[in-house]
Amino acid sequence: MPKLEQWEIKKYWEIFRGLKPQDNKLNGEKLAPVFKNS
């Protein structure tokens, strides 16, 4: 499996935080558009 670059990790954390997780979890309703656009 390829290793993620530091900038990629930062990018994904920014996306995750922008979705306003509850107890560090997201529901499928919030995740579906992200996965469909990735």
pLDDT tens track, the chain, 38 positions:
889 999 999 998 998 999 999 998 999 999 898 888 87
Between CA 15 and CA 34 the distance in angstroms is: 9
What pLDDT is recorded for position 37?
A: 84
What pLDDT is recorded for position 38?
A: 75
Predicted TM-score of the model (pTM): 0.62
Question: Contact at 8 Å (CB) between 19 and 30?
Answer: yes
What pLDDT is recorded for position 35?
A: 84
User: What ranges do the domains of the chain cover?
Assistant: 6-36
Between CA 21 and CA 19 the distance in angstroms is: 6
**Intra-chain end-to-end CA distance of the chain, in Å:** 18
Between CA 36 and CA 22 the distance in angstroms is: 21
